[in-house]
Amino acid sequence: MDQNNPTETASPSTPEVLTHPGAHKRSLLGTLLYWARDVLFSVVLAVIVILFLYQPVKVEGTSMMPTLDDQERIFINKFVYRLHFGQIDRGDTVVFWYPGDTTKSYIKRVIGVPGDRVAVERGVVMVNGQALVEDYVPPEYRDQSEMPVRNVPQDEYFVLGDHRSSSNDSRSWGMVPRRYIYGKAVFIYWPLDKMGMLK
C-alpha cells in the first residue's frame, strides 16, 4: 500500500490452483471405465433379450418360399403368445410343435383362427366364404388343390405354407392346438440382403 495514498487498497490475490500431473490421466481412465461399464451393460441386456425373449432359428425346407428360403436364419419372439401379450392373428408366421410328432418344429402361416370356416377351391383359399387375398403367394407357388369346408375349433388354428405345392400343412393333418404354438417369426437376420422384419 502506498503510504501517501491511504485510500488505496490492495487487491486480494487469486489463490493458486495446483494441478497434479496424473489428474488428466485419472479423468481419462474414469471416462473409459464409465464407457466400458455402459457397453458391458448393453451387451448383457442384449444377451438377456435374445435368450429369454427372442430365439434365433434356422429355416429348413422350402414350404415357406418365397417368404423364407431354406437355410435362412430368423429370430422368433418366444413370449408374445405364451404370456398373452398379443393374440394370434390371421397372417402371422408362427413356429409350433408339429401335432403328429411334437419332437419336430414347423413354421407356417396362420390362415384360419378359432371360429373361421376354411376351404380351398382349385388352389384359392376361402375363409368364411370369401377368397383370401394372399399377396405373399406368387402364382408359381400356387397349386390346384381342393379341400372341403373345415370349421376351426376353439383354441386351434389352421395353417398353410406359402409354397402351396411344397408344403405339408393343415390341409393334410388338420389344426394346430394353441398350446403347441410357441413363437412368432419376426425378423430375418441372414442372409444380409434379406435382413428385415417379416411380413
CATH assignment at residue 126: 2.10.109.10
State the pLDDT at residue 81.
82
Q: What whole-number distance in Å separates Cα of residue 135 and Cα of residue 132?
A: 9
Whether 38 is in a domain gets the answer no
Whether 97 is in a domain gets the answer yes
Sequence-ordered list of residues with C-beta below 8 angstroms from that of 33, at least 6 positions apart, any chain: none
Catalytic one of 27, 58, 63, 167: 63
Question: Total structural domains in the chain?
Answer: 1
Whether 19 is in a domain gets the answer no
Whether 13 is in a domain gets the answer no
Q: Give residue 138's domain range.
A: 55-197
Average pLDDT of adjacent 10-residue blocks, the chain of 199 residues: 46 47 64 86 77 86 96 91 80 96 96 98 97 96 96 98 96 96 94 91
Residue whose C-alpha is closest to residue 60's, from 101, 100, 92, 104: 104
Cβ contact 92:179 at 8 Å: no
Catalytic site includes residue 108: yes
Q: What whole-number distance in Å separates Cα of residue 77 and Cα of residue 198?
A: 12
State the pLDDT at residue 139.
94
Whether 173 is in a domain gets the answer yes
State the pLDDT at residue 11.
47
Q: What whole-number distance in Å separates Cα of residue 41 and Cα of residue 132?
A: 46
How many DSSP H helices and E strands does the chain contain?
2, 12
Whether 59 is in a domain gets the answer yes
State the pLDDT at residue 189.
93
Q: What whole-number distance in Å separates Cα of residue 167 and Cα of residue 170?
A: 9
- 161 phi-psi bin (left φ>0, alpha ψ -120 to 50, beta other): beta
Instruction: Indicate the residue type of 19.
Output: T
Q: What whole-number distance in Å separates Cα of residue 119 and Cα of residue 126?
A: 5
State the pLDDT at residue 25.
53
Indicate the pairing of strand 93-97 with strand 196-197. Answer: unpaired
Whether 181 is in a domain gets the answer yes
Catalytic one of 108, 167, 170, 184: 108
State the pLDDT at residue 141.
96
42-44-50 Cα angle (round to 5) = 100
Whether 16 is in a domain gets the answer no
All cell numbers assigned to 142: 400356387
